Amino acid sequence: MAKLTEEQKAKRAAARARREALAAEKKDRRDTERRETWAREGTRLTWDEYKAGVPCRGCGEPMYDGLGDWPGLMYLTEEEKRDHEAMEKRFQQLHPDCKSSRWGTSGSRVTHCFLCCPLPPVGPAQIEKLSRIFRSFPSAEERKKDLDAWELTLTCDHVTTFIQHREHTYVRRVVDCPDCQTRRGVVESKRLGPAYTDDGVEAARSEVEQARLVAELTQAKEQLRRQHQRAAATSSRIEELQKQLSPTARGDDIA
């Protein structure tokens, strides 16, 4: 088998990146539709419903069964093995085509599907704990100095800017496209540097705007080149057909 050239390797890598971005975009669309369906149909439980033992509205199983966590599989007794197999069989019956990962709650043995079953609601104690954590964060102005701007090329071929904390070495797989007004997969990402100047003014916008214009110009030139090629091919075909016609048929009425 012939060894791939660097150009072929680059093309394969680009094609793979686009496939992965499109797959991430498809999954994000499915997750968004699921969340919207849950909100529309009232699938999520309230905290009071959860505490009252209302079963999961996604699959009908208890959210919390109080049986305690499963021991490691190698430590299960014979009776526990039978119970575990029965639970596994029931899960497969309830979720035969989900092909999704699972979640469960501490102190409970029943498992749920991420595709069908909303997570349990957050309780008052957890909300208060999270509130304390958020209140301890630096202010928005202080956080700006730790933010970097990234240039993203999306599946729609639009180029946009994404800002996130400097400690993140990669960007999320799907982001909002301001041009398409929808969420798109990220095909390529490039860190530009600090997102804000010392006085807090957002930086890197002009660089990203220039990159977007260059990309659009390149695309327009390529489109014009293909149009010229088609026009030249059509003109050649017309000349060939005219040559095949008899002098009588090749009159002024045929342009």
Q: Render pLDDT for 1-58 as a digit per residue (tens, 0 to 9).
A: 678 888 888 999 999 999 999 999 999 999 999 999 999 999 999 999 999 999 999 9
Handedness of CA 157, 161, 167, 173 (dihedral sign): negative
User: Residue 148 phi/psi, 5° resolution?
Assistant: -115, 150
3-state secondary structure of 138: coil
Cross-strand bridge partners of residue 161? 151
The 147-154 sheet, strands edge to edge: 159-165, 147-154, 182-194, 174-177
pLDDT of residue 185: 96
**Count of residues in the chain:** 255
CA-CA distance, 206 to 214, in Å (whole number)?
Answer: 12
Confidence band (pLDDT; 50, 70, 90) for 255?
very low
pLDDT of residue 210: 65
pLDDT of residue 176: 93
114-158 pLDDT, tens per residue? Answer: 999 999 999 999 999 989 998 888 888 888 888 899 999 999 999
Handedness of CA 220, 223, 225, 228 (dihedral sign): negative
DSSP codes joined into one string, 205-219: HHHHHHHHHHHHHHH
Confidence band (pLDDT; 50, 70, 90) for 226?
confident
Domain ranges in the chain are 13-135
CA-CA distance, 30 to 188, in Å (whole number)?
Answer: 22
Longest dimension (CA), the chain: 99
CA-CA distance, 184 to 196, in Å (whole number)?
Answer: 25
157-187 pLDDT, tens per residue? Answer: 999 989 999 999 888 899 999 889 999 999 9
Instruction: Say how many C-beta atoms besides its own lie within 10 A of residue 174's C-beta.
Output: 21
| pTM for this prediction | 0.66
